[in-house]
Chains A and B, each alone.
Chain A
Amino acid sequence: MTRRIAIHRPKFGRRSALQLAGAAIASGAVGGFPTIWAQKIKDVTLRQFGTGVSNLNAIAEKVKQDLGFTLQMTALDTDAVTQKAVTQPKSYDVADIEYFLCKKVFPTGVLQPMDTRKITNYDKIVPIFITGKLTPASQVAQGTAPHTVGFVESKASTKFASQPTEWMTLIPTIYNADTLGIRPDLVGRPIRNWKDLVDPAFKGKTAILSIPGIGIMDAAMVMESLGRIKYGDKGNMTRAEIDTTVAFLIETKKAGQFRAFWKTFDESVNLMASGEVIIQSMWSPAVAAVRSKGISCTYQPLAEGYRAWGGGLGIAKHLSGLELDAAYEYINWYLSGWVGAYLNRQGYYSAVLETAKQFMSPDEWAFWMEGKPAKTDILSPEGKVMEKAGAVRDGGSFEERMGHVACWNSVMTEDRYMVQKWNEFIVA
């Protein structure tokens, strides 16, 4: 672990520096900061932690270049992230957590809400995170939808607000819609529904992910697709609903439907690439990884919609003064386009699309966001060819994909019971 570099307090008094900083932020004049303040902020180090998905070194390097201060990133797995967030609140300044974790973490009082008036591009944030609806006509998806844990009632409150307020818990950074991955060369027929995962034709050639909270939702999508049950909320099942779902999973397992259950990214890639499995739960970069081996793999859009997930940046409770200003500046920079373009190019989505567009070529934008055929080869942020010219993104445009979210990753009230039942399924 690295240590934070001590912050040198200004000799002429912090208050005056803060006033200057406040004025600078209020005026929204990014780049036009008074020289003294800009000098002092260079000494700041912000410590951020989160999962590997968005804790990218490229971002830290760009922060140093654009903003002058140091961003230290620590990438952990999801379980460790929860633990660190709650049990070591002094060990970080910025938390990069998923919305479903926010539901657990924010009420413990380790984070402080952010003043939306200080967020330059607040008005341009995709409305999914504000109202829960992509367009005014959209349905709000089930599960822990980000907007339900996106705001608190006041600066001091830890109670989630039912309406957007001026106090935001997390600033959305990265999100995506998950579905089934298939081997189009081996399935031998069009795949249209979640229930195709349990089609006896694919007996012994399917897999499901064995992270209980996510796996059970994929199972729920299958159950509804089969018409076996209609959930009140797939993301917050009752005990009876959990029982029914797990009973179905056990029955399916005993019939030999599943080849394997996977837990890590590379396991899912290997199962698919080796042909052990031809249809399974999958994450979007895993599909890209299979394809990069020259093996055909499709991230198949399905009639019942997607299971979505999203993360955001939260500010630690203990942050104040110059560091807090730096955190706001970092967040404003995050939404100002460069990171957005970086994430969009990886196949994820960013929170403010308008600014990200300015950092992408028209062809990239058309491919990733509008679902149009690529005119030239599509490159990853590292410059590797991801898709050849002529390719079309699976699932199509942003609206087609994020507009068909059936459910968000979530934490259930009956979490502990669900995990017990899931273990029964694994042992069965």
Chain B
Amino acid sequence: MPRPRGTRFRGYDKWWAVLQATPLAAILAVFLLVPIATLIVVSFFDYDSVQIIPGFVLTNYRDVLGAATTWWTYLETLKFTVIVWAVTLLTGFWLAYFLAFVVQSRTWQTTWFLVCTVPFLTSNIIRMISWVPFLGRNGLLNGTLLRLGLIRAPLEFLLFSDFAVVLTFVHLYTLFMVAPIFNSMVRIDRRLIEAATDAGARPWRVVLEVIIPLAKPGIAIGSIFVVTLVMGDFITVRLMSGGQSASVGLMISNEVALLQYPAAAANAVVLLAVVLMMVGAIVRLIDLRKEL
């Protein structure tokens, strides 16, 4: 509703709004805009084996986009992203469904949700590394299977493989899917589900035509989390593949290690563009503003 003209608070309100927005704007400017601007500027600099040379060259972008290695690496990273997204969505959705609809009491919902977050009390890296002794050739899993007589030789694919990478990602990131979907689901008006059931819908149809459409914002937010986290990862892929797989993040970190900052910056700009497009696509599919 438009504010009546000429109120004496108008100027004060405007001033107050600006004041409220200033801290966030300042933080974003200093810690987001300036670094990204620097990144873009440096991506056009030249370099040799020991230093960066200010200038304006396109060689960094030509090197990044022209190399077959880059395309393979992007393909590999996208492969991990798609698999991890699909698995976390599936497990995350059903976990959230269980919490929201199967568990009836509020107390238990909260309790189970907190149980889900227990692994997050330790650091990311520790949760990752702890898979190594479990999955290794002489690890717990192989040892148990051997003792039970289920396998004759240790399963090698368990560690230092794509399997290990995906498993770790799923372990690390499923909660990022569960939380927003659960949040969307608990807001669904139960009367809608009752109405659907009364109208003769089977449970599957209720899920497909009532719950999924209403949980879409949660699914979108969870997907944005998982996609950006996996696309930008550099350490999980290296540790869990035993250095045998590459990811875009790893490629950038290698360039930084070799002091090829302009090349790393160009690579980062490309990655940023790709991830923004992916997020853009997700947001386009589901109008988050409207749904929220």
Binding site for B on A (CB under 8 A): 79, 82-83, 86-87, 104-105, 108, 204, 207, 210, 212, 253, 258-263, 270, 274-276, 411, 415-416, 419-420, 423-424, 426-428
Please classify the interface of chain B as helix (H, G, I), strand (E, B), loop, or mixed, using the class held by over half of its residues.
loop
- Expressed in whole angstroms, the Cα–Cα distance for A428 and B156 within the complex equals 19
Given contacts A79-B259, A274-B136, A427-B72, contact A86 B243 (CB under 8 A): no
A107 to B37, CA, bound (A): 33
Interface membership of B20, Cβ < 8 A:
no
Is B115 an interface residue, CB under 8 A from the partner? no
A209 and chain B: residue at smallest CB distance: B243
Q: B50 interface residue, CB < 8 Å from A?
A: yes
Question: Which B residues lie within 8 Å of A424 (CB)?
Answer: 68-69
Cβ of A285 to closest chain B Cβ, rounded Å:
21
**Lowest 9 A-B CB distances belong to which pairs?**
A260-B242, A261-B243, A427-B246, A86-B50, A79-B257, A427-B72, A424-B69, A275-B138, A210-B243
Q: List 7 A-B contacts (CB under 8 A).
A: A79-B258, A260-B243, A261-B242, A274-B137, A274-B138, A276-B137, A427-B246
Additional 20 contacts, C-beta under 8 A, given A262-B243, A276-B160, A415-B49 = A79-B257, A79-B259, A82-B259, A86-B51, A104-B49, A104-B50, A212-B258, A253-B244, A259-B242, A261-B242, A274-B133, A274-B137, A276-B137, A276-B138, A419-B258, A420-B69, A426-B243, A427-B72, A427-B76, A427-B245
A87-B50 in contact (CB<8A): yes
Q: What residues of A have a CB within 8 angstroms of the CB of B51 in the complex? A: 86-87
Chain B residues near A426: list those with CB within 8 A.
Answer: 243-244, 246
* A207 surroundings in chain B (CB, below 8 A): 242
Chain B nearest CB from A74 CB (Å) reads 18
B136 contacts A276, C-beta separation under 8 Å: yes
Q: How far is the CA of A9 from the CA of B72 in the complex (A)?
A: 62
Q: How many residues of B contact A (CB 8 A)?
A: 29
Write out the residue numbers on chain A whose beta carbons fall within 8 Å of the beta carbon of B282.
none
Asked whether, in the complex, the Cβ of A423 is within 8 Å of the Cβ of B243, the reply is no
A180 to B16, CA, bound (A): 69
Chain B, range 38-83, C-beta contacts under 8 Å to A: 49-51, 67-69, 72-73, 76
Smallest Cβ distance from A415 to chain B, in angstroms? 6
- Nearest CB on A from B233, distance (A): 15
Question: Closest CB-CB distance, B52 to chain A, in whole Å?
Answer: 9
Q: Which residue of A lies closest to B137 (CB)?
A: A276
Does chain A have a CB within 8 A of B110?
A: no
Interface residue? B159 (CB, 8 A): yes
The residue in B68, B72, B238 that gathers the most chain A C-beta atoms within 10 A of its C-beta is B238
- With A259-B160, A276-B136, A276-B159 given, is the CB distance from A423 to B50 under 8 Å? no
B243 in contact with A263 (CB, 8 Å): yes
Q: How far is the CA of A210 from the CA of B241 in the complex (A)?
A: 13
Residue B251, interface by CB 8 Å: yes
Contacts of A204 in B (CB 8 A): 156
Instruction: Quote the shortest CB–CB distance from A421 to chain B (angstroms).
Output: 9
**Assuming A83-B50, A83-B259, is B244 touching A261 (CB within 8 A)?**
yes
Which residues on A sit within 8 Å (CB–CB) of B243?
210, 260-263, 426
CB within 8 Å of A: which B219-247 residues: 238, 242-246
Q: How far, in angstroms, from A86 to B49 measured CA to CA in the complex?
A: 10
- Nearest chain A CB to B5's CB is how many angstroms away? 59
- Residues of A within 8 Å of B76, CB to CB, are 427
Question: A260: which B residues are within 8 A, CB to CB?
Answer: 160, 242-244
Q: How far, in angstroms, from A83 to B67 measured CA to CA in the complex?
A: 26
Residues of A within 8 Å of B133, CB to CB, are 274
Is B254's CB within 8 Å of the partner chain A?
A: yes
Interface centre among B51, B159, B258, by most chain A C-beta atoms within 10 angstroms, is: B258
Measured between beta carbons, the chain A residues less than 8 angstroms from B242 are 207, 258-262
- In the complex, A176 Cα to B72 Cα: how many Å? 38
Q: Is the CB of B50 within 8 A of A82?
A: yes
